[in-house]
A = this chain, B = another copy of it.
Amino acid sequence: MAKAKTSDRTDAEKGMLVPTEFDDSIMWAAWLYYADQMTQSEIAKRLNVSRATIVNYLQEARERGIVSVHINPKAGNRTRVARALMDTFGLAGAFVIPDGDEQALVQRLGDAGARVLADQMEDGDTIGVAWGRTVLAVADQISLTRPVRNLTVVQVSGSSTGEADFSPELCTSILSNRIHARCVNLLAPAVLSTKALKALLLAEPVLLKQMDLVHSANRILFGVGDIGPKSTVRQAGIGEPEEIDDYVARGATAVIIGRFIDAHGGAVGGAHDERIVGITLDELKNIPSRICVAGGPSKIKAIIATLEADYVTHFITDMATAEALIAAAGTA
C-alpha cells in the first residue's frame, strides 16, 4: 500500500516538491516523437535508454495528457450524415461516430461527447450536467488539453435515491473533477413527496443560490432516456412504476433532464412533475449551448421527440442511429 502511495505521488502532477528528471525524459520523448517526428529508435539512442522504454514513455505521455490527439469536431459537422441531421432537425452542430463495437456504444458515444464538449468550453463557462449512463460516459472520458480557467459544473436536477451507478451527483462530480471545475451539487432529492415541500425547500437560501446557478448555465450536457420496460427511468427510482405508467398513458415518449416529454417534445406535466426538483424544459431552452448525447435502436423515438422540439443545439450519436433518425423523420 505504502508503495502504491509512492507511485501515485510520482504520477500526480501536484504535490511534488521537486520535479523529477523523469518527467523531463517523458516530455522530451514526446516532443522528439510527435513534433520532430523522430523514430523511437533514434530517440532511444539519444536518451540512452532502450527503445522499449521510449514506448513506455510515450504511453505515459498520452495517459498523462502531455500529448493528446484532437479530432476536429468542425470536420465532424461536414460529414454527410451530420449535415443531414443538422438540416433535418435544425441543429447548430452534429457529430456522428461510425458504427463499431455494439457493446461499447455508450463508451464510444461518451468519448465523442467528451471531445465535443471539451472543444466548446471557454473560460468562465458554467456547464449544467444531467445524468444517465451516457452522460457518465462523457464525464468519465473528458479531459482538458488546454488551459480553461474558471469553470463551474452544476447538477441540474435533484439527486436520485436509487443506487444507480450513474447518479446526478456522480456525473457532476466526476465531470467537474476531470476538468478542474468548481462543482455544485444540488442538495435536494430529485422528487419530493409534496409540491408544498418542494416549494419550501427551494425557498431555502442554499437551494435558491444553487438554482440560480442552474439557470445561469451557458452550456448543458444531457442524454435521452426512453420509456421501455428496461429503461433507465424505471431503474433510477425517479418514481414508482405506477407513476411512470401514468406518464406513459398520457403520451410520454422520452425523458430528458428528468422530465417527461411526448412524441413531439411537449412537456407531459402533472402532479408528479410538479414535485421534481431540477431545471424545467422551458429553462432548458434558455441555455445557449445544449449538448445531447444519445444513440441506440431502442431510443430512436425518444430522440426524435427530443430533437423535433428544439431542445438540442449540438447532437452526438452513432451512424446507425443517425440513419434511423433521418429515415424516420423523412416519413413523418
Contacts and interface: CB of A to CB of B under 8 A. Distances in A.
Interface string A42-70: 00001000000000000000001111111
Interface residues of A, number: 47
Contacts of A111: 35
A206 to B, nearest CB: 34
A46 B97 CA distance: 14
B71 A31 contact: yes
Interface string A159-177: 0000000000000000000
Contacts of A71: 30-31, 34-35, 66-67
Contacts of A64: 75
Nearest to A11: B80
A80 B19 contact: yes
B83 A19 contact: yes
A27 B146 CA distance: 23
A69 to B, nearest CB: 5
A36 B78 contact: no
B69 A34 contact: yes
A68 B65 contact: no
Interface in A1-41: 13, 19-21, 23-24, 27-28, 30-32, 34-36, 38
B119 A31 contact: no
Given A67-B70, A70-B70, A97 B145 contact: no
A103 interface: no
A44 to B, nearest CB: 13
A79 interface: yes
Contact of A36 (B79, B108, B147): B108
Contacts of A242: none
A106 to B, nearest CB: 14
A297 interface: no
25 contacts: A13-B78, A19-B78, A19-B83, A20-B80, A24-B79, A27-B76, A27-B79, A31-B71, A32-B100, A35-B97, A35-B111, A35-B112, A36-B100, A38-B100, A64-B75, A65-B75, A67-B69, A67-B70, A67-B71, A67-B72, A68-B69, A69-B70, A70-B145, A122-B122, A122-B123
